[in-house]
Chains A and B, each alone.
Chain A
Amino acid sequence: EIVMTQSPATLSVSPGERATLSCRASQSVTSNLAWYQQKPGQAPRLLIYGASTRATGLPARFSGSGSGTEFTLTISSLQSEDFAVYYCQQYNYWPTFGGGTKVEIK
């Protein structure tokens, strides 16, 4: 099993500021990495796949980078609707998810 570790567990950010979320894989997943956003009571929503490709309609303030074992999701200027929990998921082998990063209002 490939273990995905996300950090930090909670990120306190002010609206308009930049948020940087990290995801580390226990072994290389090449670029087979996706990011999801989940708001309370809702299903996850795909943001990024292939480590850096934005899903259809996703605002440009969201960007993904990395390959191998280290990945980053960056939100360049946080909007009120961006406060949520973010999960990474690898699909290089059978899929596994990270534990999530909660982005909260500072």
Chain B
Amino acid sequence: QLQLQESGPGLVKPSETLSLTCTVSGGSISSSSYYWGWIRQPPGKGLEWIGNIYYSGTTYYNPSLKSRVTISVDTSKNQFSLKLSSVTAADTAVYYCAILGGNEGVSYMDVWGKGTTVTVSS
């Protein structure tokens, strides 16, 4: 069964770049059956989709974040990554990675990682 684990710094300074990695276990990220995604949740608030990626590198981004987001995949490490540039306190959130269902680039989130908390503060 596929499992996901987020990792990365828990504290990022304002104006810097947030970098997170999601490690996939129990299967190959290169499987043609799956798309992979990032979602975030500010403290006490709802969920916001950040973007998705296919193992080939095809990406889909939230238009409101697109200018600051890069999602990439490293098939040799069975990982995919998120970079969010020019962060502010508004980017403080729990960041989740997920496996998408339905074999579509934009879809529902079938399996979620446990999440990692990122705080933006000087």
Give A residues with C-beta under 8 Å from B.
Answer: 1, 34, 36, 42-46, 49, 55, 87, 89, 91, 93-100
Contact = CB atoms under 8 A, between A and B. Distances in A.
Interface string B101-118: 110101111111111000
Nearest to B50: A95
B48 to A, nearest CB: 7
10 contacts: A34-B108, A36-B109, A44-B112, A46-B110, A87-B46, A87-B47, A89-B47, A91-B107, A94-B63, A97-B48
Task: Give the interface residue-count category, chain B.
Answer: 20 to 34
Contact of A89 (B108, B113, B114): B108
B45 to A, nearest CB: 9
A46 B109 contact: yes
Nearest to A48: B108
Contact of A99 (B46, B62, B109, B111): B46
B34 interface: no
A97 B46 contact: yes
B113 A91 contact: no
A91 B112 CA distance: 16
B47 A97 contact: yes
A91 B108 CA distance: 6
Contacts of A98: 46
B62 A94 contact: yes
Contacts of A94: 49, 60, 62-63, 106
A87 B47 CA distance: 8
B112 A45 contact: yes
B114 A43 contact: yes
Given A43-B113, A49-B108, 14 more contacts: A1-B63, A34-B108, A43-B112, A44-B47, A44-B96, A45-B112, A46-B108, A46-B111, A49-B101, A91-B106, A93-B106, A94-B60, A94-B62, A97-B46
